């Protein structure tokens, strides 16, 4: 099902802009051409009428797409200018950490680097658990006191114009002092983004640029770049 969704997304990103062609033709054939014909009352040739109607239809569609795209892009660019560059204040040693939200299937990813991860139990209120490896298995035990000194918070936010942002921050549990913060944001092109396809989509940090690739790497691996475990291999 996941592969189908990815394939559909790629198909729409490539073929979505092709939908502009029939939409423009319908506008030209059934609206603009008839309107201009009434206004001009045969004062221009049929060929000139067709060309003028087609040009007007293209301009109308372009204006509609711009009105759909530009407000969100303006807000997205401002958001990126303020948040795209990761902020790392301090790197520390930690054999494990607390995460504000974590499901068991996610824990194994961190246990390749850290000795343990602690988090609220996702299925029971007011219960804390610790995940650790026992051989190849990931074990879970309930704890009454956290061993972690540092915490990781990951938040997903949906904003106006279809902008989405994922924020990670690392902080000291006892004082809430922030050690690092990094953000990844995406813009799908506004309400009519489907008609713009891949050209209407933006992300920051943008992994297509050298600096963007570095910044996205920091966001993705923020835990291991800030919390240095003796088990880390990089």
* Residue 180 dihedral angles phi and psi, to the nearest 5°: -160, 155
One pLDDT digit (tens) per residue for the chain, 234 residues: 545 545 555 566 667 788 899 999 999 988 998 898 888 877 788 889 899 999 999 999 999 999 999 999 999 999 999 998 999 999 999 999 999 999 888 999 999 899 999 999 999 999 999 999 998 899 999 999 999 999 999 999 999 999 999 999 999 999 999 999 999 999 999 999 988 988 899 999 998 899 999 999 999 999 999 998 876 554
Measured torsion, CA atoms of residues 155, 161, 162, 164, in degrees rounded to the nearest 10: -20
Strands 150-158 and 96-99, sheet pairing: parallel
d(CA 219, CA 30): 50
pLDDT on residue 7: 55
My answer on whether 37 and 94 are in the same domain is: no
Query: Is 37 contained in some domain?
Result: yes
Q: What is the pLDDT of residue 199?
A: 85
Are 47 and 9 within one domain? yes
Among 23, 45, 75, residue at a domain's last position:
75
Q: Does residue 66 share a domain with residue 91?
A: no
Rounded Cα–Cα distance for residues 170 and 104 (Å): 20
104 and 71 share a domain? no
Measure the CA–CA gap between 159 and 142, rounded to whole angstroms. Answer: 36
3-state secondary structure of 40: helix
Q: Does the CA dihedral 58-61-65-70 come out positive or negative?
A: positive
**Domain-embedded: residue 16:** yes
Long-range contacts of 155-160 (CB under 8 A, 24+ apart): 159/75, 159/79, 160/72, 160/75
Query: In this structure, is residue 198 part of a structural domain?
Result: yes
Residues 71 and 93 grouped into a single domain: no
Asked whether the beta carbons of 141 and 93 are under 8 A apart, the reply is: no
Final residue in a domain of this structure, among 34, 53, 75: 75
> Which among 179, 209, 187, 205 is positioned nearest to 81, based on CA atoms?
205
User: Domain tally for the chain?
Assistant: 2
Rounded CA gap, 190 and 196, in Å?
9
pLDDT at 3: 53
The answer on 223 and 112 residing in a single domain is: yes
Specify whether 122 is located in the same domain as 192: yes
- Residue from 117, 28, 127, 90 nearest 225 by CA: 90
Q: What are phi and psi of 146, to 5 degrees?
A: -75, 140
Domain boundary among 46, 75, 104: 75
Residue-number span of the structural domain to which 136 is assigned: 87-228
């Amino acid at each position: 099902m996941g592969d189908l969704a990815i394939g559909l997304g790629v198909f729409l990103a490539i073929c979505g802009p092709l939908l502009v062609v029939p939409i423009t033709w319908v506008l030209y054939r059934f609206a603009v051409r008839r309107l201009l014909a009434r206004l001009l009352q045969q004062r221009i040739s049929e060929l000139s009428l067709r060309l003028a109607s087609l040009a007007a239809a293209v301009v109308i569609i372009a204006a509609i797409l711009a009105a759909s795209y530009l407000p969100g892009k303006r807000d997205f660019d401002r958001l990126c200018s303020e948040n795209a560059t990761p902020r790392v204040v301090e790197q520390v040693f930690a054999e494990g950490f607390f995460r504000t939200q974590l499901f068991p299937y996610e824990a194994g990813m961190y246990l390749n680097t850290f000795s343990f991860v602690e988090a609220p139990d996702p299925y029971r209120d007011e219960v804390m658990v610790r995940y650790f490896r026992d051989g190849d298995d990931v074990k879970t035990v309930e704890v009454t006191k956290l061993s972690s000194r540092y915490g990781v918070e990951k938040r997903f936010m949906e904003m106006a114009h279809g902008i989405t942002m994922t924020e990670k921050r690392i902080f000291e549990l006892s004082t809430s002092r922030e050690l690092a913060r990094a953000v990844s944001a995406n813009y799908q092109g506004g309400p009519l983004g489907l008609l713009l396809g891949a050209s209407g989509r933006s992300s920051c940090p943008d992994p297509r640029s050298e600096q963007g690739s570095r910044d996205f790497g920091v966001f993705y691996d923020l835990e291991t770049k800030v919390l240095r475990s003796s088990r880390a291999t990089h």
